[in-house]
Amino acid sequence: MEPDQQGTQVSALLGNTDFRAKATLGVAKAALCLLLPLTILNFVDGNTSVALVSSYVLVLLALNVYLVVNSRCHENVTTYGLVLPGMVLMSVVFQHNAIVASLWCYPAIIACYCMLSRHRAVYVNLFILTMAVPQAIRYLGPEYSTRIAATLIAISLFSFILVRTIDQLNSRLQQRLLRDPLTGLLNRLSMKDTLQEAVSLYEAHSQAATLLAVDIDYFKSINDRFGHEAGDLALTELASIFDNNLRDTDKAFRTGGEEFLILMPATHEKEAYKIAERLRRKIELADIIPGDSMTISVGAAQLRQGEDWQQWNKRADDHLYEAKRLGRNRVTLSNRKHLNVIDIRKNAARTWHDT
């Protein structure tokens, strides 16, 4: 599968895990189907005020559908357009029929947990309970109001527990989609969107960025000599060195068996070269392979004007192949000698020795 197709696939998968967007779409569509006939009937029966309120709700529900379909934020419309006016309307209904008003509080609570973020849903539900419970006590008396208050609180609590569980499972799903299970590094599926974001930052703000394409030298021989468990250990040790030595803003991906990619935002090529040299030297000196040293080859490429993320990634790969052609265990900047690589390596080695 091509990287572009993989990026589209992961975006679709992650989109499918956003259950609130799907729940909002489902709730809005169901409410539209249920409310539209009642609105028409109220107009026919001459209940103009009720029909106008229903029409307002219909418009906001339709707006919610539009926002979700177009992948835009719908929470503000739900909170300020539906919930707040809805509770004001509910206060009016309590004065005329407290039983009916109380019953409508139950789906309102569940709908909020389905349509809003968990934290916002908690605040909105506290608002609903604060308005509904005192009015139930006022208009229904202690016998019914106590039961209504207890069941409303129970529904809110159960909904919170359910949504929190779904959020936790959703977070684990996203981790599995975006992270390599062996090394814990970002995987190839998450690469496209991350690199595209760096390209967009460069186009908008001229923020430099450099890619490091990394490959373990003679990795097949490690598996052949010591077994696949040793190969897996080598990969996890390499990922640990990345985690401990890269900056917080840098992002490391495992893109293949022994292939890695490191994105260095706000970093020029020469600076990235020095960091790559320190990584290369640290890996070479690390006790990863019993009685031997493991080395890496690295190709560095700074983002250029007019490049897309694929062209940029290909240049980093080309520089990696150049490093392998020149003998491995080195960092190269370009197939052309436009920079004095030997001098830079000496400076990097001096910097490493000083640290």
Would you name the residues annotated as active-site residues? 258
Q: Which residue reads 């835009």 in tokens? A: 72
Of the candidates 255, 258, 187, 252, the one whose C-alpha atom is nearest the C-alpha of residue 222 is: 258
Answer for the pair 90, 101: CB distance below 8 angstroms, yes or no.
yes
End-to-end CA distance of the chain: 43
Residue 284: both structure tokens together: 């070479």
Answer for the pair 255, 194: CB distance below 8 angstroms, yes or no.
no
Distances (CA, A) of 120 to 60, 76, 116, 117, 297: 19, 10, 6, 5, 49
User: What is the CB-side half-sphere exposure of residue 206 using CA atoms within 13 A?
Assistant: 0
**Cβ neighbours of residue 204 closer than 8 Å, sequence gap 6 or more:** none
Of the candidates 164, 220, 213, the one whose C-alpha atom is nearest the C-alpha of residue 191 is: 213
| One-character DSSP codes across 254-304 | E-SSSEEEEEEET--HHHHHHHHHHHHHHHHHS--BTTB---EEEEEEE--
Distance CA 306, CA 308 (A): 7
Answer for the pair 250, 264: CB distance below 8 angstroms, yes or no.
yes
| One-character DSSP codes across 20-37 | HHHHHHHHHHHHHHHHHH
* ∠ Cα 266 247 334 (to 5°): 55
Q: What is the largest CA-CA distance in the chain?
A: 91
